[in-house]
């Protein structure tokens, strides 16, 4: 057996129990059939279970199988330091307690399965690798919410459109569940399809928006799409309610990339998305991120973005990997993160 948790037992008692073979009981014994069993003194336990061990001088025991949904997950053992006569009321109460504990374990197990499935689904839908594009250095980071929190729908992508043209995308699907993770994959696929078909940034978001209003009318998605033309040194930006990108050009302080924020994807199928042009000379660094990086309960999100911009200080000699770690490091250290985080960094070089 494996001791998962204990209270009141000595360290030696735990060591005695941990790793010990399970009880060998007569087929007729209640425990063998998954029913609770009660032993009022050491002699009674020893008679039923000759291989029993006695730790910490305990003298009476209640064995409560943790069974729920037809599955036994383990056993709760309550021990008394002196002989004890278990009345009918006590046996009923302890049996009910075992059932409650078993149901709690079962709910936790099912939640873990659901969470692991959603996290696996989301990870499989995020790009395994980003395309190599001459003249563009790229680093991406994804940080899931802490265990115990539901999975989110943050995503990022880099799409090669032409020899010197690429599209950087980042977004966040509303909700924290398997549906959000699955919808995230559909959004990424739709954006990729429209982008490679030759649509401009505003058209990509408009086409994807119309699709989402049909697929999931009750789910909304923020998205930022930036087309980067390395030969011209220009970027074209369109936003669907997403936090603005940060830009630092050589010799200039970091600033937010101005763009007309359109409605979230999935709200109105007739929404049009305005684009904005931004100069992007060699050595420029763009930072795209999701709101999990900046949201702090009780703090204004505009101020949080301003603080992020004020601390955004890439240098030509600093690898983007170091910059990415410095951006997510403070958030990664937080014990309980209710939202996942995606960061996409891009630096233009000489193509």
Reported as a pLDDT band with limits 50, 70 and 90, residue 335 is low
Residue 30: per-residue pLDDT: 52
Reading the block at residue 332, the tokens are 């990664």
Q: Which residue has the higher pLDDT, 250 or 73?
A: 250
Interior CA angle at 125 toward 325 and 320, to 5°? 20
Judge whether residue 263 has pLDDT over 90: yes
Mean pLDDT of the chain: 85
**Count of beta carbons in the 10 Å neighbourhood of residue 79:** 19
Residue 138: per-residue pLDDT: 96
Q: Which residue has the higher pLDDT, 290 or 174?
A: 290
Reading the block at residue 311, the tokens are 């601390």
Judge whether residue 31 has pLDDT over 80: no
**Count of beta carbons in the 10 Å neighbourhood of residue 233:** 16
Kindly report whether the global pTM for this prediction surpasses the value 0.85. no
Reported as a pLDDT band with limits 50, 70 and 90, residue 340 is confident
Reported as a pLDDT band with limits 50, 70 and 90, residue 13 is confident
Are 66 and 100 within 8 A, CB to CB?
no
Judge whether residue 251 has pLDDT over 50: yes
Residue 146: per-residue pLDDT: 62
What proportion of the chain, given as a percentage, has pLDDT over 90? Answer: 47
Residue 149: per-residue pLDDT: 47
Judge whether residue 203 has pLDDT over 90: yes
User: How far, in Å, are 199, 221, 228 from residue 217 at the CA level?
Assistant: 24, 11, 31
What is the average pLDDT across 223-245? Answer: 96
99 sits in which H/E element: helix 88-125
Residue 262: per-residue pLDDT: 92
Q: Which residue has the higher pLDDT, 8 or 152?
A: 8
121 phi and psi angles, rounded to 5 deg: -60, -45
What is the average pLDDT across 34-43? Answer: 88
Residue 197: per-residue pLDDT: 94
Residue 202: per-residue pLDDT: 96
What is the average pLDDT across 97-108? Answer: 86
Reading the block at residue 147, the tokens are 């265990």
Judge whether residue 206 has pLDDT over 80: yes
What lies within 8 Å, CB to CB, of 26 at 6+ separation is 32, 48
What proportion of the chain, given as a percentage, has pLDDT over 70? Answer: 87
Judge whether residue 278 has pLDDT over 70: yes
């Amino acid at each position: 057996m494996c001791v998962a948790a204990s209270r009141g037992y000595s360290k030696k008692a735990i060591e005695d129990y941990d790793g010990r073979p399970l009880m060998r009981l007569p087929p007729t014994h209640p425990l063998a059939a998954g029913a609770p069993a009660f032993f009022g003194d050491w002699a009674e336990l020893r008679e039923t279970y000759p291989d029993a061990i006695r730790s910490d001088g305990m003298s009476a025991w209640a064995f409560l199988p943790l069974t729920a949904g037809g599955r036994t997950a383990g056993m709760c053992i309550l021990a008394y330091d002196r002989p004890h006569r278990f009345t009918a009321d006590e046996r009923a109460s302890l049996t009910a307690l075992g059932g409650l504990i078993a149901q709690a374990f079962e709910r936790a197990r099912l939640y873990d399965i659901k969470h692991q499935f959603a996290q696996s689904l989301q990870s499989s839908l995020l790009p395994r690798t980003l395309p190599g594009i001459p003249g563009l250095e790229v680093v991406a980071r994804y940080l899931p919410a802490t265990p115990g929190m539901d999975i989110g729908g943050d995503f990022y992508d880099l799409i090669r459109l032409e020899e010197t043209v690429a599209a950087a995308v980042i977004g966040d699907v509303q909700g924290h569940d398997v549906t959000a993770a699955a919808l995230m994959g559909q959004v990424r696929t739709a954006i990729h399809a429209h982008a490679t078909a030759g649509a401009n940034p505003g058209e990509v978001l408009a086409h994807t928006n119309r699709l989402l209003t049909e697929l999931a009318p009750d789910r909304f998605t923020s998205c930022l799409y930036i087309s980067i033309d390395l030969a011209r040194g220009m970027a074209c930006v369109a936003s669907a309610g997403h936090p603005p990108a940060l830009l630092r050009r050589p010799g200039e302080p970091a600033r937010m990339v101005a763009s007309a924020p359109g409605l979230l994807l999935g709200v109105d199928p007739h929404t049009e998305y305005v684009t904005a042009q931004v100069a992007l000379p060699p050595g420029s660094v763009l930072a795209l991120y999701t709101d999990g990086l900046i949201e702090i309960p009780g703090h204004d999100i505009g101020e949080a973005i301003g603080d992020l911009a004020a601390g955004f200080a890439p240098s030509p000699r600093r690898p983007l990997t170091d910059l990415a770690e410095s951006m997510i490091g403070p958030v990664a250290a937080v014990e309980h993160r209710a939202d996942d985080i995606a960061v996409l960094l891009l630096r233009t070089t000489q193509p």
